[in-house]
Chain A
Amino acid sequence: MTVIGWLQIILFCVIIVALTKPLGWYMTRVFNGERTFLSPVLRPIEAGIYWFSGVDEKREQHWLTYTVAMLLFHVGGFLIIYGVMRLQDVLPFNPAGQSAVAADLSFNTAISFITNTNWQNYGGESTISYLVQMLGLTHQNFLSAATGIALAVALIRGFSRASMRTIGNFWVDVTRCTLYVLLPICIVYTLFLVWQGMPQTLGDYVEATTLEGAKQTIAVGPVASQVAIKMLGTNGGGFFNANAAHPFENPTALSNFIQMLSIFTLGAALTNVFGRMVGNQRQGWAILSVMGVLFLAGVAITYWAEANGTSTMHALGLTGGNMEGKEVRFGIVASSLFAVITTAASCGAVNAMHDSFTALGGMIPLINIELGEIVVGGVGAGMYGMLLFVILAIFVAGLMVGRTPEYVGKKIEAREVKMAMLAILVLPLMILGWTAVGVVYPAAVASMANAGPHGFTEVLYAFTSATGNNGSAFAGLTGNTFFYNLTLASAMFVGRFFMIIPAMAIAGSLAAKKSIPPSAGTLPTTGGLFVGLVVGVILIIGGLTFFPALALGPIVEHLAMNAGQIF
């Protein structure tokens, strides 16, 4: 580890904190339906869209209607992606002449993108056409991100409202998020990325004759417009197979730094939206502090492990850290930082190959996802995931002192705690359940690329990433098989929607409750005690659930590595 390395990490954190408040202010205005500086341009478009689609923006929805609207929206999104992939050979914008994508891979990819997972069983430049990249993937990058944010805002409204039956209008939330937040940022962001060297063209792949006379086919495409929303919306599905490690998908150290910032900004700003909507910004800062503690701990461990390298490298006298599967322009620190950010935030873009990380360095991304990606988290998903843990922490604190727990003026009662537990139990059910199948079912075992405990970690990581809707991978695992296409799709689907539905039920039940003023017996939820309590609950629940699996994978691999064992 170096001083310059840590300075990069600190600079990153400072900028995120600095952006949280202004962006939170802006987003609060957007979701409260207030005027913004973009309204003169966007308001007529917005009103036109509502008129054309038959949306009454004044009419709010009950939580069940809100949820059904969200689900219907995703059925349509699924059909568009699936259809475009299956028919790409006869549709336009296919200069590389890609043939139609197989049914199971199309199914997996469609589920992957509507759930904001963006797991890549497809190969980007080697599998799909420009039309699929744009109409299938770019569009769903926007809409699944907008959906996540809308759901988080709906849950926040549950906390901030009192004695109301409704939690907002899904159509309005999605439209406003897309028009006022995502699109304007992406337009500027795309131009920045192209300036840095990212291609944005509909032209053919380039045929080059290298300096030594060999032929090189260079894949290009409308990359920048997709990467902008891929990062901002914490989607993470790459234009290219190598994702953000590809020089065209992340050309410079600066593009890398801005990409890292853009993964976290909206998620961090949502904590401020929460604070503003419940009437006390310090509530938002307390949540961001919980995230910050877990984040810095993760960065420190991964950075240390990667800078340290492996015992194989030490034995050969190689210094400079574990550069296997990393790019020179990012080096150890920016690769480690990126890995922690992308898994803390449910993004899943990678600028280095997690499969080649050291055992402990690769364990932190795994843990980040298993804890529910609540460290900033996926846009929206992180916020509602974190609020579920807050409900549990408040409940545990209430048990300790024997009082009905309260949070931001709402009594947390049996219904909320049951729903929160239901959502949180989905993670181990899918992750551990499918991993158990994956390590005994012969067709699944054949997919492992590495032998020994590392092979187990590949399978564990795949189902963890899918259930957590992350999308990063220990990519040695051959995922494009019938078994993995279907099982991973089921993990992604259940991991997304069986977390959302309980969260929306909580939103509905909280909105209907009366707001009670804080009393002498109320636990203050803006201080260090509360932060420590939530961090503790997250680590205890995550630890108890996943420690045995981690012990079989990365932990035993680390011990084996130190003992000089290879597989």
Chain B
Amino acid sequence: MLREIRPAIVLLLVLTAITGLAYPLAMTAIAGAIFPVQAQGSLIEKDGKVIGSALIGQEFKDDKYFHGRLSATVAPDPSDSTKTVLAPYNAANSGGSNLGPTSKALADRLKDDVDKLKGENPNAAVPVDLVTTSASGLDPDISPEAAQFQVLRVAKARNVPEDQVRQMVASNIQGRLLGLIGEPRVNVLALNLALDRATK
């Protein structure tokens, strides 16, 4: 058995160096050279400043913007570091609500949000993804139905014809890959950027 001790130490160190340092560092160099944009986080710049990542959702509250999913991310409470406070779309601390199907907190929250959205657009069915939190708290997308649902509000806030906004939504829908894999969706940040460009 004693002769197993040397491999236990040396082989472990060699394999650790290969898989724990050489491999990730080499991949960082190669990926950075081939896919520089993605490797840095698919960042979007506007007027020379980073306004976010194409893949990471951000919070929209203004009526003139399309809103994303609800986010349950938190941040440390500034007044008491052992506690946390709600901080939607905190991209340095991802996470979901983790509320279960029989949670009263979830039932109350759903009811409030459904009521609020019905007030905004009484004629359409409330899309489920607009009143539920995403798994990461950073979901960049909403369903096409959830985007269409908000057209009324956005068009009114921007004082542009509803049809124009509706068309912008339609042209921002990403379909399923090969018509099969994934779900149809609209990237909220991309849609809002397109909207800003079109209707200054």
Contact between B40 and A199 (Cβ–Cβ < 8 Å)?
A: yes
Contact between A201 and B183 (Cβ–Cβ < 8 Å)?
A: no
Asked if B19 lies at the interface with its beta carbon under 8 angstroms from chain A, I say yes
Given A218-B41, A475-B95, A65-B135 contact (CB < 8 Å)? no
A208: which of B6, B28, B43, B192 is its contact (CB, 8 Å)?
A: B43
Nearest chain A CB to B88's CB is how many angstroms away?
10
What 1/0 flags go to A173-210 for Cβ under 8 Å of B?
Answer: 01100100001001100110011111111110111111
With a CB–CB cut-off of 8 A, which chain A residues contact B104?
451, 566-567
What 1/0 flags go to A120-136 for Cβ under 8 Å of B?
Answer: 00011110000000111
Nearest 7 CB-CB pairings of A with B: A253-B182, A139-B20, A476-B98, A245-B135, A331-B183, A242-B94, A72-B8
Contact between A358 and B101 (Cβ–Cβ < 8 Å)?
A: yes
Contact between A210 and B51 (Cβ–Cβ < 8 Å)?
A: yes
Across the interface, name the chain A residue whose C-beta is closest to B134. A327
Asked if A500 lies at the interface with its beta carbon under 8 angstroms from chain B, I say no
Contact between B23 and A4 (Cβ–Cβ < 8 Å)?
A: no
Across the interface, name the chain A residue whose C-beta is closest to B30. A191
B31: which of A200, A226, A357 is its contact (CB, 8 Å)?
A: A200
Across the interface, name the chain B residue whose C-beta is closest to A250. B136
- B107-140 residues at the A interface, CB under 8 angstroms: 107, 110-111, 114, 125-129, 131-140
A-B contact pairs, 28 of them (CB 8 A): A53-B7, A123-B93, A138-B24, A183-B23, A194-B39, A196-B38, A199-B40, A199-B42, A200-B27, A200-B39, A205-B92, A206-B50, A211-B51, A214-B59, A217-B91, A252-B182, A253-B176, A253-B177, A318-B114, A318-B131, A325-B134, A328-B143, A334-B181, A355-B96, A358-B101, A450-B103, A474-B98, A474-B100
Contact between B50 and A208 (Cβ–Cβ < 8 Å)?
A: yes
Given A242-B96, A557-B100, A225-B23 contact (CB < 8 Å)? yes
Q: Tell me the bound Cα distance from A246 to B166 in angstroms.
A: 29
With a CB–CB cut-off of 8 A, which chain A residues contact B60?
211-212
Nearest chain A CB to B31's CB is how many angstroms away?
4
Residues on B lying within 8 angstroms of A by beta carbon are 1, 3-12, 14-16, 18-21, 23-25, 27-28, 30-32, 34-35, 38-43, 49-62, 65, 69, 89-104, 106-107, 110-111, 114, 125-129, 131-143, 145, 176-177, 180-183, 185, 189, 192-193, 196
- A444-461 residues at the B interface, CB under 8 angstroms: 449-454, 457
Contact between B100 and A450 (Cβ–Cβ < 8 Å)?
A: yes
Interface residues on A, range: 35 or more
Q: Tell me the bound Cα distance from A55 to B101 in angstroms.
A: 55
Across the interface, name the chain B residue whose C-beta is closest to A320. B128
Contact between A216 and B101 (Cβ–Cβ < 8 Å)?
A: no
Contact between B52 and A329 (Cβ–Cβ < 8 Å)?
A: no
- A222-258 residues at the B interface, CB under 8 angstroms: 222, 224-226, 229, 240-242, 245-248, 251-254, 256-257
Contact between A329 and B141 (Cβ–Cβ < 8 Å)?
A: yes
Asked if A285 lies at the interface with its beta carbon under 8 angstroms from chain B, I say no
Asked if A440 lies at the interface with its beta carbon under 8 angstroms from chain B, I say no
With a CB–CB cut-off of 8 A, which chain A residues contact B18?
178, 183
Contact between B135 and A327 (Cβ–Cβ < 8 Å)?
A: yes
B101: which of A211, A322, A323, A330 is its contact (CB, 8 Å)?
A: A322
B27: which of A224, A257, A353 is its contact (CB, 8 Å)?
A: A224
Q: Tell me the bound Cα distance from A186 to B59 in angstroms.
A: 35
Across the interface, name the chain B residue whose C-beta is closest to A146. B15
Contact between A327 and B50 (Cβ–Cβ < 8 Å)?
A: no
What 1/0 flags go to A383-402 for Cβ under 8 Å of B?
Answer: 00000000000000000000
What 1/0 flags go to A487-528 for Cβ under 8 Å of B?
Answer: 000000000000000000000000000000000000000000
Chain B CB within 10 Å — which of A217, A251, A353 has the most? A353
Contact between B135 and A326 (Cβ–Cβ < 8 Å)?
A: yes
Contact between B21 and A134 (Cβ–Cβ < 8 Å)?
A: yes
With a CB–CB cut-off of 8 A, which chain B residues contact A102?
none
Q: Tell me the bound Cα distance from A457 to B106 in angstroms.
A: 17
Nearest chain B CB to A92's CB is how many angstroms away?
11
Given contacts A208-B50, A253-B176, 12 further A-B contacts (CB under 8 A): A183-B19, A209-B49, A240-B94, A252-B182, A320-B127, A328-B69, A328-B139, A353-B96, A355-B98, A356-B106, A357-B101, A450-B103
- A64-98 residues at the B interface, CB under 8 angstroms: 65, 68-69, 72-73, 75-77, 80
Contact between A248 and B41 (Cβ–Cβ < 8 Å)?
A: yes
With a CB–CB cut-off of 8 A, which chain B residues contact A195?
34-35, 38
Q: Tell me the bound Cα distance from A198 to B35 in angstroms.
A: 10
With a CB–CB cut-off of 8 A, which chain B residues contact A266?
none
With a CB–CB cut-off of 8 A, which chain B residues contact A207?
50
Nearest chain B CB to A333's CB is how many angstroms away?
8
Asked if A220 lies at the interface with its beta carbon under 8 angstroms from chain B, I say yes
Q: Tell me the bound Cα distance from A320 to B56 in angstroms.
A: 24
Contact between A246 and B4 (Cβ–Cβ < 8 Å)?
A: no
- A303-334 residues at the B interface, CB under 8 angstroms: 309-310, 312-313, 316-331, 334
Asked if A37 lies at the interface with its beta carbon under 8 angstroms from chain B, I say no
Chain A CB within 10 Å — which of B31, B40, B192 has the most? B31
B7: which of A55, A138, A240, A324 is its contact (CB, 8 Å)?
A: A55
A54: which of B7, B55, B177 is its contact (CB, 8 Å)?
A: B7
Q: Tell me the bound Cα distance from A76 to B7 in angstroms.
A: 11
Q: Tell me the bound Cα distance from A53 to B39 in angstroms.
A: 35
Given A171-B11, A218-B53, A312-B106, A211-B135 contact (CB < 8 Å)? no
Contact between B65 and A211 (Cβ–Cβ < 8 Å)?
A: yes
Contact between A125 and B183 (Cβ–Cβ < 8 Å)?
A: no
B41: which of A126, A206, A449, A567 is its contact (CB, 8 Å)?
A: A206
Nearest chain A CB to B20's CB is how many angstroms away?
3
Q: Tell me the bound Cα distance from A511 to B53 in angstroms.
A: 56
Contact between A356 and B4 (Cβ–Cβ < 8 Å)?
A: no
Contact between A225 and B50 (Cβ–Cβ < 8 Å)?
A: no
Given A212-B65, A241-B94, A566-B107, A55-B11 contact (CB < 8 Å)? yes
Chain A CB within 10 Å — which of B53, B103, B107 has the most? B103
With a CB–CB cut-off of 8 A, which chain B residues contact A321?
128
Q: Tell me the bound Cα distance from A246 to B133 in angstroms.
A: 13
A69: which of B8, B61, B89 is its contact (CB, 8 Å)?
A: B8
